[in-house]
A and B are shown apart, each in its own frame.
Chain A
Amino acid sequence: MERKGLRTWWFLLAVLTAGSCQRQERRVQEMPDQENCVYYWRTQLQLDSTERAFLKRHHISKVYCRYFDVVMDSAQGPMPNATITFNDTLPKDIEVVPTVYITEDCMHKRHEGLAEKLVRRIRQMNETNDISGVRELQIDCDYTARSRRPYYEFLKEVAEKWRETSNHTSYLLPLTYHLSTTIRLHQLSMAPPPVDYGVLMLYNTGDPRKFQERNPVLDLRDVVPYVKRLGGYALPLAAAYPVYQWQRTIYGVHIEHTVEADEILRVKQAVERERPGLSHSIVTYCLDKENINRYKPETYEEIYHH
């Protein structure tokens, strides 16, 4: 309780200070810091020299690292799957955000004790693998109207368990985040989840069947209908952009869906025009040598431009 009171006080102070010297454009609180981040989405943590150089060159301060998935097992209920193995470490100055992808069917109803098991597992993975300085975690789930309520309840429980098991002082600091979740465009129409902030997924926006009309990875025309919801979405948001390639064969032709750098930047411009705070915290999906080589360093600099 004492911690909570102190946090509230710091928060109010911060808001009042900000309000006194800035034009108050919107009530929505934004991500406070400018930060460059990446997703790491493989089953083994092992970086090569290109990936390490990328982290350094682009001043990446945070890596959302997929720790494991949670999938529905018909006999045992939600179970961890595809757990990462740590064969390497990230540079010391980079903050690791354990990220867990949960399949939507796990959230069709409440599963007693799931939040506690998840938090305990993440804590243990950190301890066993000597990963220190972890302050926050992220949950990724394509929740729908059906799963929204159980998911939000689950997030509240995760936040509570994470706070209970936290042994560092970050809970005393103002505007320090502890729990985030991914927000897909269609989820902007729902009430925001009970987390500190969301990462707006600006990828997988299209219909893969209409590949001839739109790039299914990202097309501004698929983003625009949702843009107007951004301004009033009452949750701090980071923005995540795709740098990956999706390969498949259609009508006997090998198709590579790569988003043109210009398209990423046009989307960035469009969403930031509606909600300038989206330029504060920027994430790319995902860290991989091939993705790094796909775009010029200048393109990455533009994506990470605040």
Chain B
Amino acid sequence: MKRFIIISLLALATLPMLACAWQESHNYYLFSVCGGDDFRDRVDKTCDNNWKEYLGITENRWRYYDADDIIAAAQRKGDVLMVSYVKNLEKYLECARSAQNTWEYPTKEEIAERNKTLQEVRTYAQGKVTSRLRSQHGLLLMRCNMMLGRHQENVTFWEQTANQFINSVYRDMMQNIYAGALLRTGNADKAGELFAEMGDWSSLMTQYYEKRSCAAIRQQYLANPNASVLPFLLQDFVNNTQEAVDVDFEAGSAGYLQGKLFVRDIQRSEGEQMIKLCGQVISEGKTLTPALWQSAKAWIEYLYGNRQQGISDILAATKMDGTERQKDNVRVLMLYMTAMQAKPGQAFDDYLADELEWLDNKKQQDSHYERVKDRLLHQALTSKYSNRPELAVALLKASYDYDQVSYMDTMKVENLLKYLQYRKSPAQTALDRYLKANQDEDKTDMNDLVGTKYMRLRQWDKAEQWLQKVPLSFYNGKGYAVYAANRNYHVEPWLKRQFLKESVEYADMEWKVESNPKLDFVREIQRMEGELNVLSGKALQQRCYDLAACYAQAHFTGDCWYLMRDGKSVMDTLRVNEADLAARCRELLQKASLTNDFQLKEKSLFALTYGYLYTAQWQKRVWSDEKLDFVPEVDPTSPHYKAMANMTQFVKKNATRISPYVSRCDNYLQFAKVYK
């Protein structure tokens, strides 16, 4: 059957909408006691398998429900009842589809027609609820009733007839519709229990959206200490507590502050009330699943910074009763807390290897464990293994983690080489065996990355050794190929910026580079730098100037930034593992500016005023509360100011010979006005 289309309970509530998208973070929820196998996914899958079996096909398809195929198969089998069922089911599904978010918004007539069709299908189904396909027809009847708003009839039909049908996916779906009907006819508590037993988290969230506080959970517990809805409410509360604390973590690490759809801010006082409630529940002994409450207490304690209490609580939880899922949850929390707190060493490595294997197995069944592993990696393991960088990289790669790229990109080149060496060496520990079994071959990427890292350090000979192994096709596939194909690092950026036309920059085509742009640059710089030792006089000064232009272009603010980095942002700064190309550029320009050649001197002095070569400009704009505006503030001590002053003095001395690129430069003219 096609997706189990329910006129969702979600329609009952006005839920917050996404005003804007957010970036994926690593602050995934760890506390999960409700199971990721959502009711809708489960029934969808079972229905699909039923159709596959009915069709008798073995090939893999995305979906097996296809009305035409099934009718044809039913006709071949002489299954008249199935033919009529599927035809009517199709009529119902068409009505359900038109009520959803499609481009075709229904007309009044279509709505009336839809109701008429639903009524006809309903009458048909009602006449077949004692047939061989009674469950399917019962479901069809209840679906029509639901869309027609005949909820009380659904309550009656379930209680008097359908609940006696044999267990099947259709019966489960009928029960789900029954729960929705109960909610709509004023029997919310019973509806909630049924939704929880079925694992229909979406409907539960809608129903309990406004009832998720500690006080509401206490009330629920007092009414029934083993209510099926309690794990769901507890999970929601704990994860919202985590959310509040995780935001601190994100803010502390300068990450993006996140928004999530069902977040409810939990004040610390409320979190502490929950800790007390958990303690009370365990001591009263009325719950059949103390591990659930104990792990909730442990995690909240831990999140609030009471690390030792958290660990002691989670250790206690490992010995308590709970469902399989709740015990897995205890294991996850135990792993995370241990990874955060334990001392590095062989014992931890061995424990980790076992737990990673376990997580890998679990994540085959439920993506929750994939997220657990992601959080574990980013918040605990990469920092824990910072002194063994080869293991940190191997862990990221073994998890096929997206952030491995930026991690490797910013690490020291020696550490990356350690990782490459580690990859080749034989496994000695359980952790080695786990990691080495999960490393991918990425020689070209590594050759480029190591070569680029040496470029950033201006170690041209080493860079060349690695970059010459990189084929041209590698660069043609890069996002920066458009810039590499259209820009030239010899162009002096202070005289000409190489902006690309929109039609070029956003052209829907793959740009090709004619040669390896990094290798070309490396070889040329190597040659030019090498010749500095043999040149003298004007030739040397000219060479200094030419080299300076290349460095300015390769700088992260230059037009050829792609030589050293994979991407560009206005937020970019000089990184710890990089040589300061701007400083080298200024040094070369200073040498060039000593020339007696007027034009070269003018160009060199002018180049030294190029703002991108400095971290602080000669003038900054600061906010004035008095003027309610930004006002300029000159900093005469800044190196940029001094370069501007040198230029100005040069212009004064040579007023008649000055080139237009100087006399018309707005930045220079602005400076000249304030310079005395």
Q: Give 15 A-B pairs besides A83-B105, A121-B105, A250-B257 with Cβ atoms closer than 8 angstroms.
A: A69-B18, A80-B103, A101-B19, A103-B21, A124-B106, A124-B107, A125-B105, A128-B111, A149-B502, A221-B623, A248-B247, A249-B247, A250-B248, A254-B267, A270-B628
Could you say which residues of chain A place their CB within 8 Å of the CB of B104?
Answer: 121, 124
B274 to chain A, nearest CB (A): 15
Contact with B along A237-259 (1 / 0, CB 8 A): 00000000001111110100000
A224, B502: Cβ atoms closer than 8 Å: no
Could you say which residues of chain B place their CB within 8 Å of the CB of A117?
Answer: 103
**Cβ contact of B11, chosen from A85, A101, A149, A251, cutoff 8 A:** A85
Q: Is the interface of B mostly helix, strand, loop or mixed?
A: loop
Could you say which residues of chain B place their CB within 8 Å of the CB of A41?
Answer: 17, 19
B567 to chain A, nearest CB (A): 14
B584 to chain A, nearest CB (A): 32
Could you say which residues of chain B place their CB within 8 Å of the CB of A85?
Answer: 11
In the assembled complex, A42 has its CB within 8 A of some CB on chain B: yes
A9 to chain B, nearest CB (A): 36
B62 to chain A, nearest CB (A): 10
B105, A249: Cβ atoms closer than 8 Å: no
In the assembled complex, B675 has its CB within 8 A of some CB on chain A: no
In the assembled complex, A26 has its CB within 8 A of some CB on chain B: no
A259 to chain B, nearest CB (A): 16
A247 to chain B, nearest CB (A): 6
Contact with B along A85-129 (1 / 0, CB 8 A): 100000000000000010100000100000001001100110110
A69, B21: Cβ atoms closer than 8 Å: no
In the assembled complex, A304 has its CB within 8 A of some CB on chain B: no
In the assembled complex, A225 has its CB within 8 A of some CB on chain B: yes
Could you say which residues of chain B place their CB within 8 Å of the CB of A103?
Answer: 21
Could you say which residues of chain A place their CB within 8 Å of the CB of B20?
Answer: 142
In the assembled complex, A146 has its CB within 8 A of some CB on chain B: yes
B248, A251: Cβ atoms closer than 8 Å: yes
B244, A252: Cβ atoms closer than 8 Å: yes
Name the residue on A nearest B304 (C-beta): A252
A35 to chain B, nearest CB (A): 24
Name the residue on B nearest A120 (C-beta): B103
A43, B245: Cβ atoms closer than 8 Å: no
Contact A83/B101 with A109-B508, A254-B267 known, Cβ cut-off 8 Å: yes
Most buried by B among A221, A266, A270: A221
In the assembled complex, B506 has its CB within 8 A of some CB on chain A: yes
In the assembled complex, B102 has its CB within 8 A of some CB on chain A: yes
Name the residue on B nearest A108 (C-beta): B506
Name the residue on A nearest B248 (C-beta): A251
In the assembled complex, A82 has its CB within 8 A of some CB on chain B: yes
A209, B257: Cβ atoms closer than 8 Å: yes
Docked Cα-Cα span, A125 to B629, in Å, equals 46
In the assembled complex, B630 has its CB within 8 A of some CB on chain A: yes
Could you say which residues of chain A place their CB within 8 Å of the CB of B132?
Answer: none
A201 to chain B, nearest CB (A): 12
Name the residue on B nearest A116 (C-beta): B103
In the assembled complex, A145 has its CB within 8 A of some CB on chain B: yes
A289 to chain B, nearest CB (A): 13
Docked Cα-Cα span, A42 to B108, in Å, equals 23
Give the contacts of A174-216 with B (CB-CB under 8 A). 208-209, 211
Could you say which residues of chain B place their CB within 8 Å of the CB of A209?
Answer: 251, 254, 256-257
A146, B103: Cβ atoms closer than 8 Å: no
Docked Cα-Cα span, A82 to B16, in Å, equals 10
B502, A124: Cβ atoms closer than 8 Å: no
B244, A124: Cβ atoms closer than 8 Å: no
B8 to chain A, nearest CB (A): 13
In the assembled complex, B268 has its CB within 8 A of some CB on chain A: yes
A249, B244: Cβ atoms closer than 8 Å: yes
A252, B268: Cβ atoms closer than 8 Å: yes
A254, B265: Cβ atoms closer than 8 Å: yes
Docked Cα-Cα span, A79 to B108, in Å, equals 22
In the assembled complex, A159 has its CB within 8 A of some CB on chain B: no
Query: What would 6 A/B residue contacts be, using CB atoms closer than 8 Å?
Result: A69-B18, A125-B105, A149-B506, A224-B628, A251-B251, A266-B628
A128, B101: Cβ atoms closer than 8 Å: no
Name the residue on B nearest A146 (C-beta): B506
Contact with A along B105-147 (1 / 0, CB 8 A): 1111001000000000000000000000000000000000000
Name the residue on A nearest B258 (C-beta): A248
Could you say which residues of chain B place their CB within 8 Å of the CB of A249?
Answer: 243-244, 247-248, 265-266
Name the residue on A nearest B10 (C-beta): A43
B264 to chain A, nearest CB (A): 10
A115 to chain B, nearest CB (A): 12
Docked Cα-Cα span, A149 to B257, in Å, equals 30
In the assembled complex, A220 has its CB within 8 A of some CB on chain B: yes
Contact A252/B14 with A117-B103, A142-B20 known, Cβ cut-off 8 Å: no
B508, A128: Cβ atoms closer than 8 Å: no
In the assembled complex, B528 has its CB within 8 A of some CB on chain A: no
B108, A128: Cβ atoms closer than 8 Å: yes
Could you say which residues of chain B place their CB within 8 Å of the CB of A69?
Answer: 17-18
Docked Cα-Cα span, A211 to B247, in Å, equals 13
B244, A42: Cβ atoms closer than 8 Å: no
In the assembled complex, B222 has its CB within 8 A of some CB on chain A: no
Contact with A along B590-632 (1 / 0, CB 8 A): 0000000000000000000000000000000001000011100
In the assembled complex, A64 has its CB within 8 A of some CB on chain B: no
Name the residue on B nearest A44 (C-beta): B14
In the assembled complex, A293 has its CB within 8 A of some CB on chain B: no
Docked Cα-Cα span, A41 to B111, in Å, equals 25
A210 to chain B, nearest CB (A): 10
A42, B14: Cβ atoms closer than 8 Å: yes
A249 to chain B, nearest CB (A): 4
Closest 8 CB pairs of A and B: A249-B244, A124-B105, A117-B103, A80-B101, A251-B248, A121-B105, A208-B257, A44-B14
Docked Cα-Cα span, A120 to B630, in Å, equals 47
In the assembled complex, A165 has its CB within 8 A of some CB on chain B: no
A267 to chain B, nearest CB (A): 10
Give the contacts of A156-172 with B (CB-CB under 8 A). none
In the assembled complex, B655 has its CB within 8 A of some CB on chain A: no
A221, B257: Cβ atoms closer than 8 Å: no
Name the residue on A nearest B244 (C-beta): A249
In the assembled complex, A132 has its CB within 8 A of some CB on chain B: no
In the assembled complex, B15 has its CB within 8 A of some CB on chain A: yes
Contact A43/B251 with A109-B508, A125-B105, A254-B265 known, Cβ cut-off 8 Å: no
**Cβ contact of B251, chosen from A121, A220, A247, A250, cutoff 8 A:** A250
Give the contacts of A64-88 with B (CB-CB under 8 A). 68-69, 79-83, 85
A43, B630: Cβ atoms closer than 8 Å: no
Could you say which residues of chain A place their CB within 8 Å of the CB of B17?
Answer: 41, 43, 69, 82
Docked Cα-Cα span, A229 to B617, in Å, equals 23
Docked Cα-Cα span, A194 to B106, in Å, equals 30
A224, B630: Cβ atoms closer than 8 Å: yes
Docked Cα-Cα span, A219 to B406, in Å, equals 33
A112 to chain B, nearest CB (A): 13
Give the contacts of A249-297 with B (CB-CB under 8 A). 249-252, 254, 266, 270
Give the contacts of A35-78 with B (CB-CB under 8 A). 41-44, 68-69
Could you say which residues of chain A place their CB within 8 Å of the CB of B508?
Answer: 109
Could you say which residues of chain A place their CB within 8 Å of the CB of B629?
Answer: 224
Could you say which residues of chain B place their CB within 8 Å of the CB of A250?
Answer: 247-248, 251, 257
Give the contacts of B432-452 with A (CB-CB under 8 A). none
**Cβ contact of B265, chosen from A146, A208, A247, A270, cutoff 8 A:** A247
Could you say which residues of chain A place their CB within 8 Å of the CB of B254?
Answer: 209
Could you say which residues of chain B place their CB within 8 Å of the CB of A266?
Answer: 628
**Cβ contact of B257, chosen from A44, A125, A142, A248, cutoff 8 A:** A248
